[in-house]
Amino acid sequence: MLTIKNLHAEVEGKKILKGINLEINKGEMHAIMGPNGSGKSSLASVLAGRDNYTVTEGEVWFNGKNLLDMAPEERAREGVFLAFQYPVEIPGVSNLNFLKTALNEIRAYKGLPALEAREFLKLTKEKQQLVDFHSNLMNRSLNEGFSGGEKKRNEIFQLAMLDPQLAILDETDSGLDIDALRIVSNGVNKLRDAEKSFVVITHYQRLLEYIIPDFVHVLYNGRIIKTGTKELALELEERGYDWLKEELHLKESV
Amino acid sequence: MTSDMILPFYQALTEDVNALSAQVPALATDTLQDIRRKALERFSAIGLPTLKTEAWRYTNIQRYLKEFPYELLSTASPVSEAVINSTAIPELDCYRIVLVNGHLQADQSTLPQGKGITVGAMSAHTTAPGFVTYFNEQHHLAAESLAQLNTALFADGLYLELAANTVLDKPIHVVNVYSCTAHAFIQPRHLWILNRNAAATIIETSVHPETATIAFANSVLETVVLENAELWHYNVQQGAESFREVHTTAAQQHKDSRYHHFNFTLPNTPFTRNNLSVALNGSHTETNLNGLYIASKHQHVDNHTFMDHIMPDCNSNELYKGVLLDNANGVFTGKILVHQEAQKTNAFQQNNNLLLGAKADINSQPQLEIYADDVKCSHGFTAGQFSEESMFYLRSRGIGEDAAKALMVNAFSHDITDAVKVPALQHFLQTQIAEIMNN
Ligand SMILES: Nc1ncnc2c1ncn2[C@@H]1O[C@H](COP(=O)(O)OP(=O)(O)OP(=O)(O)O)[C@@H](O)[C@H]1O
Ligand SMILES: [Mg+2]
């Protein structure tokens, strides 16, 4: 579904991604871990099309289409979704109106008619329950004055509403309380199916106890330096990243 | 109306304005004729504004007056229902008053009726007690030469007076039609009076149906809000390429009154100047001035406002927001004058702008003159673009660039549109804004 080949990207002249290779197939759950500043959010941003990043080398293919050629909205309509590490507050844009616009633009792209008001409300109710997203937040301005946890839930609520093929969750777990973490993880698990793939970026093995990954990647200094299974996350939790960095230096000095 | 003997309009304005007064109908009373003569003298004395006139530093009105060979137009010809309906506000339950070039079209209007309501043509009410007391009484008009020109040469307009304790059950929608078969300079003149405890909502829209002839309106409205009365006035300037406008509103408020003024300037009138002044002649008043201007192409929109705090214990709140697209040029002036007697004044002013066009521009100037010591006053100004972060967030959800901009402009203007108390009008404005942004 998604193929990343030797991806290099920089921001404001600073090299951030230095040759990422990653293959994600239908139905897979990938976790990306790695120290602060290693480039995890940058990778997510490049995939979603944030334009302050310049891709200097490499390719990204999504369902056979060149993702890097597309505007951010086209990527979303093709089925790529990014749950932001820091969701933006937009005063004056109502959550509901925003979602309706987004949903209908995606539907129009797929040649589907706009949802009728009643159908839209029905869908909203259903997905709201999935992540236990309070209905009073629905009528407020987009993320305005939302608590950290409420913003993260809103990201997952949007994910449920827009139903993408590939969802990238950037530290959705940070800021969530213990109950919310369970609820949101259950929500994500319910959305999983054989057609959909996920990339979860996280610092904590705890999330991966709820959302069991098929693969765990370690991103360090703009590169994936190790790939393993869920056991790798446990090991990282215990030992930190230093041993990996050392391993890498040994390899590089050879 | 022109003959070979008559100077072209602009030349007459600058050289022989007396010749113009021969072209307009005489008013009914000697007192009024006297007021007219004095206004003409005053106009001749101060002349047309130039870029050296303090209040017109950023707006070259002479350029617009010279742009076409206007003729002074004092009459109206019938207009079709289709023209009037082109500015209808869907779902609005209201009284409708149709004015063509300021002249009331009674058979196309549904006037409010009943005890305490006086409504009709200005020309038919020149001896009404309210007219005698308040016409041309607003002293702020004296400083503005175009208002003097209007006083000297107007033909007609809307007179409305609500007696004490009269509350209108529905809004009044005033449809201002400016219609001409040659380039015309049109000067309507209105006077609205709300006596003690009266209340009304008045919505104005305008339409200039012809595209080949230019209408230049120089209208003046005086509003008088007496003790504990409340007026909601919405002026919706839906523009046209073939329209130009100087719109002067002079309001006065008395003790315990509330005045809410909304001004919406939408594309495409190339030149709009709004003069708005509020004189607080009584204490414990509340004033809300809200403005939203959305301008595109080469539009020039100038909002010139003046809050005159004469009496103590009054609150005023002013919020003007602008969205400037393409090469549009905005001007905002917010003068707040707090007299020495006006202790315990609260006067707030804010002007925020979105500069979206590559050559869009705003000149904004607060002018605070405060002579009382126990006051709370503030002013603020911003001009900026869309936040990149917000745009990316919206687009990352599949929302196209234009739709995202429309959402953001709606968001930017929401505190103005949210304050609109008539749901049908609010919806109408939101729809208009969305349509403008989607073009
Ligand atoms: N606009 C920018 N200008 C300059 N440097 C930037 C910019 N955006 C990101 N960076 C840098 O890129 C590097 C990678 O940042 P990124 O946000 O991708 O890290 P991360 O792995 O997501 O970290 P964290 O775990 O803290 O979220 C950091 O060194 C960061 O400072
Ligand atoms: Mg990050």
**Residue-range definition of the domain harbouring residue A69:** 2-253
Testing the interface with A: which of B352, B354, B399, B426 to mutate, by most A Cβ within 10 A?
B399
Reference B176, options B206, B146, B203; nearest CA is: B206
Question: What is the model's pLDDT at position B4?
Answer: 46
Question: What is the model's pLDDT at position B29?
Answer: 87
Between the CA of residue B389 and those of A94, A152, A168, B126, B412, what are the distances in Å?
A: 17, 17, 18, 59, 15
Cβ distance of B396 and A72 shorter than 8 Å: yes
Pocket around ligand 1 at a 6 A CB cut-off: A 11-12, 14, 16, 34, 36-42, 52, 85
Q: A169, A198 in Cβ contact below 8 A?
A: yes
Question: What is the model's pLDDT at position A250?
Answer: 74
Q: B366, B381 in Cβ contact below 8 A?
A: yes
Between the CA of residue A134 and those of A129, A137, A151, B253, what are the distances in Å?
A: 8, 6, 11, 45
Residue nearest to atom 29 of ligand 1 (CA): A37
Peptide bond into B197 cis (omega under 30): no
Cα-to-centroid distance, A219 and ligand 2 (Å): 11
What ipTM does this complex have? 0.95
CA of A206 vs chain B CAs: smallest distance (Å): 28
Q: Identify whether residues B262 and B407 lie together within a single domain.
A: no
Name the residue of A12, A16, A32, A207 to mutate for ligand 1: max ligand atoms within 8 A of Cβ: A16
Domain assignment of residue B362, yes or no: no
Domains: count for chain A: 1
Q: What is the DSSP string of B276-306?
A: EEEEE-SSS-EEEEEEEEEE-TT-EEEEEEE
CATH number of the domain encompassing residue A161: 3.40.50.300
Question: In which element (H, E) is residue B414 found?
Answer: helix B401-417
CA distance B329 to B340: 36
Q: Sign of the C-alpha dihedral, residues A11, A16, A19, A20?
A: negative
Q: What is the DSSP string of B359-395?
A: T-EEEEEEEEEE--SSEEEEEEEEEE---HHHHHHHH
pLDDT in tens, A178-189: 988 999 999 999
Structure tokens at B120: 């009709």
The dihedral over CA atoms of A90, A91, A95, A100, expressed in degrees to the nearest 10, equals -80
Cα-to-centroid distance, B188 and ligand 2 (Å): 62
CA of B419 vs chain A CAs: smallest distance (Å): 13
Question: What is the model's pLDDT at position B3?
Answer: 43
CA distance B260 to B249: 13
CA of B410 vs chain A CAs: smallest distance (Å): 7
Q: List, in sequence order, every residue forming a beta bridge with A170; answer none if it has no partner.
A: A201
Cβ distance of B410 and A93 shorter than 8 Å: yes
Residues of B in contact with A162 (CB under 8 A): 397-398
Question: Which residues have C-beta within 8 Å of that of residue A72, sequence separation ≥ 6?
Answer: A48, A49, A50, A51, B392, B395, B396
Residue at a domain's end among B282, B301, B327: B282
Domain assignment of residue B313, yes or no: no
Cα-to-centroid distance, A202 and ligand 2 (Å): 9
Domain assignment of residue B359, yes or no: no
Residue at a domain's end among B282, B310, B333: B282
Regions of chain A short of the pLDDT cut 50: none
Q: B344, B370 in Cβ contact below 8 A?
A: no
Domain assignment of residue B365, yes or no: no
Between the CA of residue B388 and those of A88, A131, B49, B225, B404, what are the distances in Å?
A: 10, 29, 41, 45, 11
CA of B408 vs chain A CAs: smallest distance (Å): 7
Structure tokens at B140: 């702020």
pLDDT in tens, A84-122: 999 999 988 989 999 999 999 999 999 999 999 999 999
Domain assignment of residue B37, yes or no: yes
CB atoms within 10 A of CB B46: 14
Domains: count for chain B: 2
CA distance B43 to B151: 10
Residue nearest to atom 25 of ligand 1 (CA): A36
Domain assignment of residue B341, yes or no: no
Cβ distance of A76 and B408 shorter than 8 Å: no
User: Where are the strands (E) in B165-299, listed by range?
Assistant: 172-177, 184-186, 189-194, 199-207, 215-225, 230-237, 243-253, 258-265, 271-280, 286-295
Ligand nearest to the CA of A169: 2
Domain assignment of residue B57, yes or no: yes
Q: Which amino acid is at B77?
A: S
CA of A53 vs chain B CAs: smallest distance (Å): 12
Q: Identify whether residues B254 and B128 lie together within a single domain.
A: yes
Cα-to-centroid distance, A88 and ligand 1 (Å): 17
Residue nearest to atom 30 of ligand 1 (CA): A37
Cβ distance of A82 and B396 shorter than 8 Å: yes
Domain assignment of residue B226, yes or no: yes
Q: Identify whether residues B399 and B271 lie together within a single domain.
A: no
Name the residue of A8, A12, A14 to mutate for ligand 1: max ligand atoms within 8 A of Cβ: A14
Residue at a domain's end among B240, B263, B282: B282
Residues of A in contact with B395 (CB under 8 A): 49, 71-73, 76
Cβ distance of B395 and A73 shorter than 8 Å: yes
Residues of A in contact with B398 (CB under 8 A): 73, 76-77, 102-103, 105-106, 109, 162
Cβ distance of A90 and B401 shorter than 8 Å: no
User: Where are the strands (E) in B13-110, listed by range?
Assistant: 71-73, 95-100, 103-104
A185–chain B Cβ distance below 8 A for any pair: no
Name the residue of A10, A11, A12, A217 to mutate for ligand 1: max ligand atoms within 8 A of Cβ: A11
Task: Give the residue ranges of DSSP H helices in A163-241.
Answer: 178-191, 205-210, 230-239
Testing the interface with B: which of A51, A88, A170 to mutate, by most B Cβ within 10 A?
A88
Ligand nearest to the CA of A34: 1
Structure tokens at B366: 């607060």
Cβ distance of A49 and B395 shorter than 8 Å: yes
CA distance B249 to B386: 33
**Residue-range definition of the domain harbouring residue B433:** 386-439
Question: What is the model's pLDDT at position A240?
Answer: 87
Q: What is the pLDDT along chain B (439 residues), one digit of tens a residue?
A: 444 455 678 888 888 888 888 888 888 889 999 999 999 999 999 999 999 999 999 999 999 999 999 999 999 999 999 999 999 999 999 999 999 999 999 999 999 999 999 999 999 999 999 999 999 999 899 999 999 999 999 999 999 999 999 999 999 999 999 999 999 999 999 999 999 999 999 999 999 999 999 999 999 999 999 999 999 999 999 999 999 999 999 999 999 999 999 999 999 999 999 999 999 999 999 999 999 999 999 999 999 999 999 999 999 999 999 999 999 999 999 999 999 999 999 999 999 999 999 999 999 999 999 999 999 999 999 999 988 999 999 999 999 998 999 899 988 999 999 999 999 999 999 999 988 988 7
Q: Identify whether residues B259 and B407 lie together within a single domain.
A: no
Testing the interface with A: which of B292, B393, B408, B416 to mutate, by most A Cβ within 10 A?
B393
Which residues 379-398 on chain B approach chain A with CB closer than 8 angstroms? 387-390, 392-398
CA distance B439 to B406: 10
Is the pTM value of this prediction over 0.90? no
Cβ distance of A101 and B407 shorter than 8 Å: yes
Cβ distance of B394 and A98 shorter than 8 Å: yes
